[in-house]
Structures are given as structure tokens and as C-alpha cells.
Amino acid sequence: MSLRAIEWDEHKETLKLLDQRVLPHQSNWIECLNEEDVAAAIAAMVVRGAPAIGLTAAYGILLAAIQAVKNHEALWPRLKRAEKMLIAARPTAVHLQFTLEEMLKGAEQLEDSDKTISYLLSKVRKIEQEDSLSNRNIGAHGANWLQKRRGKQPLVLLTHCNTGALATADFGTALGIIRTLQERGSISNVFVDETRPYLQGARLTAYELEAENIPYTLITDSMAAAAMRLKKVDAVIVGADRIASNGDTANKIGTYSLAVLAKAHQIPFCVAAPLATFDWSLPSGEKIPIEERPAEEMVIWNKTPIAPQNARVWNPAFDVTPFEWISAIFTEEGVIESIADLERLHQRNTPSITM
């Protein structure tokens, strides 16, 4: 079982989150008592990673229901207020919206009772189990695709940000493929982009790979091109926060440049994402909301300013990679390599398996 960052305490009926802002050198857990605590933890990136914040928000709805029952409050209005608060915590990852919709589906008729609590808890558990299963299926489809194209030789991969157990219910998406290849003895090395400014790569991905003895080499984001040219990178593999219906993909800032670099070096650029990442309401990536984070997160490191105090800063947390730059999208139900695959997925909500 890989690392877990989200734990439900059944006795205290509280949510515990591993504070990812202080990993890898400190292992602090933060306890959430209500939906406000959960929204604040998501906004502050205590917990981060598209599927992980979706799951955490689902627990936020459960906590709101528990508080409503305890205080004999009207349940539905509290759940609707909680939904509004949680969806506003971070705008880009579509999982937040989908898990909240899932949690509130059918909840309007619920009376404020313990029965409601166990009903909502079973829903959260289902979201958690589905994410975990999806990640293992993504792992298999992605590993099969990469091995099919690169033969049985162990692979040299490059990844960006963190898409592992810390970003999901467990196991990970792009990192789930890396874990699957490791289980098959097919990883030679993983180049890990540090991923400025939040350093998800250096602090979180390196932490996960180190814990499981998966061979990796940490690089700065600006080294990715040289690594592709000089270090025989076989493929780039990243996660996703929101995918539009034409395949345009929003992911951590720096992803788009990796896609351009991969094309220039004739290296496959692959995205790993569960079906919950697809936002069919968007015809293309232009309309994906891109979160901008506080300037301090970019110009202050360890309480030390690394830029002039009045420096003007642009700090988008994500960028959008047009589908034309993407070789394959690995989902739990198969591989998407073309617009036709996307259209079939959209019609049937399951992609054509092109394995």
C-alpha cells in the first residue's frame, strides 16, 4: 500500500490531512472538524493534487452533515453552503466540482439523522475506492502502451509535479504508471522536475520514489530539455487537472513547455488521468479556469525573499497543453490517441481501447 495523505477518523468523526507544505522533512497532520477547515486546507495546499482535493472536498460535505445533525440544523441549506465554499477553494481541477455533485446527488431528500451520515460516508468511501481502482487501471494501460513502443528495455522517463499517492486516494496516476513499470522491473530511471515554485517534484515525488526505491534523478525544470537531448529519455509522463472535450489538457505550470520540448526531441508526451478529469462542457482548453497563486509563493523561499520586494509577479499554477502536442492520454478504461477516440469517449463515456 503506498503512502496515504487523507485519513478519516471514525471515532472522532474528523478528517486528518498530511500537511504537504512541510514534506519531506516534517510529517505533520492537520485535523479538519468542519467544511471551513477543509476549504482552508485545500486553498492553502495542505492537500493538493486534483483527485486528492476532490476526495478531500467530499469529506468536507460529510463534515458539514455531521455538524448539521449535531447542531440540529437544517441539513440541505448547510450542504449547499458547504458546496459553494469548497468549490471556491481552487478553480482548475474539475474533480472538486464532480465529487461535490456526486455527494449532493439525492441528498436533498435526506433528513438530518445519523442515517444520512452513514449514507454520505458510504459515498465518500466509494469515491475513494473508485479513484484507487482507476489509478491501477491507468497504471496498467500506461505501462502496456509504453512497453509496447519501447520494447522490454527498462525505461527512462521524465515527470513533472506530483501525481502520486499524495495527489490521489492512493497509488497515483502518472506515478501509478511508474509504480506499475517498477513492479515489472521496467524502470531504468525517472527524471523528476523539481517543479517550481511549490516544488511538488523535489519535495513530494522524490519523497514517494525514494520511499519505494524507485530510481530517480532530481533536475531543475530548466534541465528538462538537456535531459531529453543527452539522457535518452524514452517518454514524458504527467498528470492532469482538467481535460477539455478536444483533449486540451490543463496541468501544473511547466507542462506545456515539456510537451513542446518532447515534440522537438521526438519523444512521446503522455498524460495520465481518470475519466473524472474530463470536462465535456468545455469545447477546448481556452475556457479552463487557470488559478493564479499568491506572489509570495514564488518570491519567498524559507522566509527568505529571492526577488526585489516590489517585483511584479505572474504566478499561474497551471498551463494548458493543446491536444496536438499530446501523444496519448491514459485513462482507467483505455488509451486515447486521437480526436476520434475522444469523440467515442464523449459518446460512450468510455474510450475505444486502442491497445
Ligand X SMILES: CSC[C@H]1O[C@H](OP(=O)(O)O)[C@H](O)[C@@H]1O
Binding residues for substrate, as ranges, are: 48-50, 90, 200, 251-252
Q: Looking at beta carbons only, is 242 or 344 nearer to ligand X?
A: 242
CA dist 161 and 193 (Å) reads 7
Q: Looking at beta carbons only, is 68 or 96 nearer to ligand X?
A: 96
Task: Tell me if 235 sits within 8 A of 137, measured CB to CB.
Answer: no
Shortest distance (Å) from residue 38 CB to ligand X: 15
The β-bridge relationship of strands 269-272 and 328-331 is: parallel
C-beta nearest to ligand X: residue: 239
Please list the alpha-helical segments (H only) found in the chain. 35-43, 50-70, 75-87, 95-104, 114-150, 174-183, 200, 206-211, 224-230, 255-264, 296-299, 339-348
Shortest distance (Å) from residue 255 CB to ligand X: 7
Shortest distance (Å) from residue 177 CB to ligand X: 11
Shortest distance (Å) from residue 252 CB to ligand X: 3
Q: Looking at beta carbons only, is 116 or 162 nearer to ligand X?
A: 162
Tell the residue number behind the cell numbers 460529510, with chain if given: 62
Q: Spell out a b/e string for 83-96, using b for 16 or more CB atoms within 10 Å of the CB, else e.
A: bebbeebbbbbbbb
Shortest distance (Å) from residue 162 CB to ligand X: 6
Shortest distance (Å) from residue 256 CB to ligand X: 12
The torsion of the CA quartet 162, 168, 169, 175, rounded to 10 degrees, works out to -50
Instruction: Name the residues that contact ligand X, by CB under 6 A.
Output: 48-51, 161, 163, 167-168, 173, 200, 238-239, 241, 251-252, 317
Cα–Cα separations (whole angstroms), residue 79 to 13, 40, 57, 124: 17, 17, 12, 14
Binding-site entries: 48-50, 90, 200, 251-252
Q: Looking at beta carbons only, is 156 or 167 nearer to ligand X?
A: 167
Residue 283's CB is within 10 A of a number of other CB atoms, namely 11
Q: Looking at beta carbons only, is 65 or 143 nearer to ligand X?
A: 143
Shortest distance (Å) from residue 240 CB to ligand X: 6
Write out the DSSP string of 157-188. EEE-S--STTSSSSS-SHHHHHHHHHHTT-EE
**Distance, CA of 343 to chain centre:** 24
Looking at this protein, which amino acid is placed at residue 319? D
CA dist 26 and 196 (Å) reads 20
Task: Tell me if 174 sits within 8 A of 159, measured CB to CB.
Answer: yes
Q: Looking at beta carbons only, is 2 or 251 nearer to ligand X?
A: 251
Q: Looking at beta carbons only, is 172 or 352 nearer to ligand X?
A: 172
Write out the DSSP string of 230-264. HS---EEEE--SEEETT--EEEETTHHHHHHHHHH
Residue 355's CB is within 10 A of a number of other CB atoms, namely 10
Q: Which residues are catalytic?
A: 241
